[in-house]
Amino acid sequence: MAEPVPGEAARRGPRPTPFNELPAKGRVFCQGRIESITYVPADRSAAFSAIVSDSDPARRGSGTSTRTRIRVVWLGRRRVPGIEAGTELRLEGMLSRSAGMPTMFNPRYEILSRQENE
């Protein structure tokens, strides 16, 4: 087995929290894939939102249909470049509940991958 490179874990940063282990509220670091996005009409306040679910099927729990999802909302924006259905993201921010769903407003994010059109 290869020896770990000194400082390698620090460069990778903290491990994302699986969605089924996220707290009800507080600062979180997680990773998931965008299932859907929502655009608001032009006559409403600018906001861009996405539904994100755990990107690792092994971490989704028992495989039941009750997967944990979170809503991510960027206030004041009608679009966020690179954010579309199928995109995998790392997210960091404050988790709260809005309309009965775990929600993160204006999170820090890193785009990890996007599905290619065939």
Query: Does a structural domain hold residue 6?
Result: no
Query: Does a structural domain hold residue 41?
Result: yes
Query: Does a structural domain hold residue 14?
Result: no
CA distance 118 to 74: 29
- The residue range of the domain holding 71 is 27-113
CATH of the domain at 91: 2.40.50.140
CA distance 50 to 36: 6
pLDDT, tens digit (0-9, with 9 covering 90-100), for 33-70: 999 999 888 899 999 999 999 865 555 454 544 568 99
- Give 82's contacts (C-beta < 8 A, 6+ positions apart): 111, 114
Cβ 69 vs Cβ 51: under 8 Å: yes
pLDDT > 80? residue 7 = no
Query: Does a structural domain hold residue 7?
Result: no
Query: Does a structural domain hold residue 5?
Result: no
Residue with tokens 């990778």: 12
pLDDT, tens digit (0-9, with 9 covering 90-100), for 93-102: 999 998 889 9
